[in-house]
């Protein structure tokens, strides 16, 4: 018997922390980050494009200022993560010959994975500060991460 | 003292579920609430019979008082 609590994470982080979460998340979905020199060639203008703003997010302004973005690609599908004017995490996704609804579905999946990675790192950091020990960690087939923690 | 554990799951949408195991009384909520505070928004909580159990140490203390 136990207490069970469900929590929806709100991403509050600076850009380097977001970059780390995005890099870890997109890797699990087969996307690879593009270098700055590769970003100039845009995916064809005729392709569909979707934009998703993550309401539950706040990207803290750093001295680097605006213009921060991460571009990742898989099979001609390009996803661009950036900080929007309101300071939220924004994802633009385009290409791959996919329809707008297919792109939205994929984009939401990507955002979900980024949130998952962010939550994972926050939790693990907090547990270490409390001197708690992770005794088991698994990733299930549906990509759920399961962690068991002991107090001593 | 009984073994105390947390079972944490983070699904592919990022939703987190924290389950306490072997932690009795209101203290079991402390752990879950601490994680909720650093992560974001608590969506739901479910208290089961273990929450209403009193920890052994507290019960011993009451016994001593009653004998006086």
DSSP secondary-structure letter at A56?
Answer: S
A65 pLDDT tier (thresholds 50, 70, 90)? low
CA B52: distance to chain centroid? 10
B26 touches chain A (CB under 8 A): no
Q: Report the residue of chain B nearest A106, measured CA to CA.
A: B13
A&B contacts, CB < 8 Å: 140
pLDDT at A132: 87
Chain B closest-CA separation from residue A2 CA (Å): 5
ipTM for the predicted complex comes to 0.87
3-class secondary-structure state, position A17? helix
Q: Is residue B44 a contact partner of residue A5, using CB atoms and an 8 Å limit?
A: yes
pLDDT at B25 exceeding the cut of 80: no
Tell me the whole-structure pTM to 2 decimals.
0.84
pLDDT at B23: 76
Contacts of A10 in chain B (CB under 8 A): 39-41
CA A101: distance to chain centroid? 19
Chain B closest-CA separation from residue A6 CA (Å): 4
Provide φ and ψ at B58, rounded to 5°. -65, -40
Strands (E), chain B: 5-10, 16-21, 40-47
DSSP secondary-structure letter at A34?
Answer: P
């Amino acid at each position: 018997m136990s207490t069970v609590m469900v929590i929806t994470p709100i991403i509050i982080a600076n850009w380097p922390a977001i970059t780390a979460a995005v890099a870890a998340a997109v890797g699990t979905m087969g996307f690879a980050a593009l270098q700055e020199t590769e970003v100039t060639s845009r995916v064809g203008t005729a392709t569909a494009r979707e934009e998703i703003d993550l309401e539950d997010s706040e990207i803290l302004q750093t001295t680097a200022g605006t213009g921060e973005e991460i571009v990742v690609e898989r099979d001609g599908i390009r996803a661009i993560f950036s900080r929007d004017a309101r300071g939220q995490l924004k994802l633009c996704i385009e290409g791959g010959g996919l329809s707008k609804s297919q792109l939205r579905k994929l984009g939401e999946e990507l955002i979900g994975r980024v949130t998952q990675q962010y939550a994972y790192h926050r939790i693990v950091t907090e547990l270490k500060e409390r001197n708690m020990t992770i005794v088991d960690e698994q990733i299930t087939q549906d990509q759920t991460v399961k962690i068991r923690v002991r107090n001593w | 003292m009984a073994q105390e554990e947390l079972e944490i799951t983070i699904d592919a949408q990022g939703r987190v579920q924290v389950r306490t195991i072997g932690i009795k009384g209101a203290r079991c909520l402390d752990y879950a609430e601490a994680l909720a505070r650093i992560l974001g928004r608590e969506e739901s909580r479910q208290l089961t019979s273990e929450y209403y159990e009193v920890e052994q140490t507290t019960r011993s203390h009451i016994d001593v008082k009653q004998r006086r």
